[in-house]
C-alpha cells in the first residue's frame, strides 16, 4: 500500500504497509484553507472599513468621541476620514491589480 501524497512527510512508528489510519495535522489541505481565508480577509477588512465609514465628518467626529471619549474637531475629522479612505482604497486597488494580473496570465496560458 502506498502512502497518500498528503501523508508522505508524516513520520510514525508504524510502517506504511499496515492498514493503520494516520492523522495529519497541518497538511497541505489545511495550509490551502488558511491561505484562502487570509486572502479573503485581505479583501474584507479594508472593504468593511470603507463600508462602515461615515460620509459626514461630523458623524465621524461623533463616533470617535463616543468610542474613545476624546473629541476631535470637524477639520481633523475631515483629514482622518480622507486618510482612512486612502489607506483602505490603496490595498483594495493593489489586490484587484494582482488578481487581474493572475487572471490575464491564466487566460494567456489557456490559449
For the segment 76-96, what is each residue's pLDDT rounded down to a tens digit? Answer: 999 999 999 999 999 999 989
Asked, for residue 15, whether it belongs to a domain, the answer is no
Q: Which residues contact 31 (CB under 8 A, 6 or more apart)?
A: none
Asked, for residue 50, whether it belongs to a domain, the answer is yes
% residues pLDDT > 90 (the chain): 52
Q: Looking at the chain, which runs of residues are DSSP E strands?
A: none
Asked, for residue 13, whether it belongs to a domain, the answer is no
pLDDT at 5: 57
- For the chain, what is the domain count? 1
Average pLDDT over residues 65-78: 93
Q: Are 6 and 55 in contact (CB under 8 A)?
A: no
User: Roughly what angle, to the nearest 10 degrees, separates helices 74-110 and 28-52?
Assistant: 140
**Position with higher pLDDT, 37 vs 63:** 63
Domain that holds residue 104: 26-110
Asked, for residue 92, whether it belongs to a domain, the answer is yes
Q: What's the chain's average pLDDT?
A: 82
The alpha carbon of residue 59 and the mean position of all alpha carbons in its chain are separated, in whole angstroms, by 28
d(CA 47, CA 87): 11
Amino acid at each position: 500500500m502506498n502512502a497518500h501524497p498528503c501523508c508522505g512527510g508524516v513520520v510514525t512508528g508504524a510502517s506504511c504497509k499496515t492498514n493503520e489510519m494516520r492523522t495529519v495535522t497541518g497538511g497541505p489541505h489545511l495550509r490551502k484553507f488558511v491561505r484562502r481565508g487570509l486572502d479573503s480577509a485581505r479583501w474584507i477588512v479594508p472593504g468593511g472599513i470603507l463600508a462602515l465609514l461615515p460620509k459626514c465628518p461630523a458623524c465621524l467626529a461623533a463616533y470617535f468621541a463616543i468610542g474613545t471619549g476624546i473629541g476631535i474637531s470637524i477639520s481633523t475629522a475631515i483629514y482622518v476620514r480622507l486618510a482612512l479612505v486612502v489607506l483602505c482604497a490603496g490595498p483594495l486597488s493593489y489586490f484587484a491589480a494582482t488578481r487581474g494580473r493572475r487572471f490575464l496570465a491564466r487566460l494567456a496560458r489557456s490559449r
